[in-house]
Amino acid sequence: MLMKFIPVFKGADIFPHDLRLPFMKFKGPALGLSIVAMLVSIALCATFGLNYGVDFKGGSLIELKTKSGNADISALRARLNALGLGNVQIQQFGSPDDVLVRLEEQPGGETAQQAALKKVTESTSADYTERRVEVVGPAVSSELRMTGFIAVAAGILAIVAYVWFRFEWQFAVGAVVALTHDVLLTAGIFALFQFEFDLSTVAALLTILGYSVNDTVVVSDRIRENLRKFKKMELNELLNLSINETLSRTILTGMTALAVLLALYIFGGQVIRNFNLAMLLGVVIGTYSSIFIAAPLLGYLGVKRDWSDMAAKSVAAAKTKAKA
């Protein structure tokens, strides 16, 4: 049969399993560091502010490509500044013949945006073609900002509700702190480097939530299992054991996710680069938060030790699921 032709070989089991890294020893400094990082992120967002993209700020974004040769950005800047459209941002985008033009939201409501776009088109149509145009008026941009904010908040709430339902409230607290941490830090980094923050960044934040909680749930699951297995073990030791036992999985999954995201970031094109950047940051931050925030918090909060009745239920549930 076909199966005979499949080579039989073991994989590289590179993670030493007896290594018991003392994660819980660092829980104090790690939590302290995370709190500081969160506060710094909030401060960054408050002082630098997020560099909102067209989606959230309103205004226009126009991607232009030269009809021949490389783009002369300074000439283009002079030409567009002469139109009197306020602050016009021009930058090279990917290749040297590709330019991104950003207009700020024009005063005068919805029609003013279209009028500004028309001026730019007329001024550039001789030597540039429009590759992409995004115009978002004041009404829509404020709605999108609201929607984006609600989406992230609702995402966190839904996850927390699920974790609470499946585990104990302490786990839910751990999850909510870890998720808030992930979102805040990613936003903080975006504020610090003034990366553009738009709808796709919100999509990335939501995915990061999903990824981070995925990590947290895997560790929590192991903690619950160990709580049943080692009824007498000291809690901090048990938490440490659980983190260590799932460490190889955490790292391997993290590596595959990073590999895919790096491929997307490098080869996926300019248009989704921002999204991928947020995702890359988020995977790293999310992995960190599951190990150094969600689990250690349990050490502080304490957790129910008698899981015998739950255990019976859970095993039964798993069996019926497996049968199905």
91-130 positions binding another protein, by CB under 8 A: 110-111, 113-114, 117, 121, 129-130
How buried is 216 (Cβ within 10 angstroms: 0-12 exposed, 13-18 middle, 19+ buried)?
buried
Which span sits near another protein by CB under 8 A: 30-38, 72-80, 208-216, 297-305?
A: 208-216
Which span sits near another protein by CB under 8 A: 45-53, 76-84, 233-241, 244-252?
A: 244-252
**How many residues lie near another protein (CB under 8 A)?**
88
Residue from 26, 45, 48, 210 binding another protein (CB under 8 A): 210
Residue from 37, 264, 301, 311 binding another protein (CB under 8 A): 264
Q: Is 260 in the site for another protein (CB under 8 A)?
A: yes
Residue from 25, 67, 132, 313 binding another protein (CB under 8 A): 132
Residue from 17, 25, 229, 313 binding another protein (CB under 8 A): 17
Cβ contact 23:244 at 8 Å: yes
Residue from 99, 187, 257, 291 binding another protein (CB under 8 A): 257
Q: Decide whether 44 or 61 has the Cβ nearer to another protein.
A: 61
- In the complex, least distance from residue 245 CB atom to another protein, rounded to whole angstroms: 7
Cα 9 to chain center, whole Å?
A: 36
Q: Is 279 in the site for another protein (CB under 8 A)?
A: yes
Q: Which of residues 66-85 bind another protein (CB under 8 A)?
A: none
Q: Decide whether 9 or 87 has the Cβ nearer to another protein.
A: 9
Q: Which of residues 144-163 bind another protein (CB under 8 A)?
A: 144, 147, 150-151, 154-155, 158-159, 162-163
Q: Decide whether 137 or 299 has the Cβ nearer to another protein.
A: 137
Interface mask toward another protein for 183-202; x: CB under 8 A: ----------------xx-x
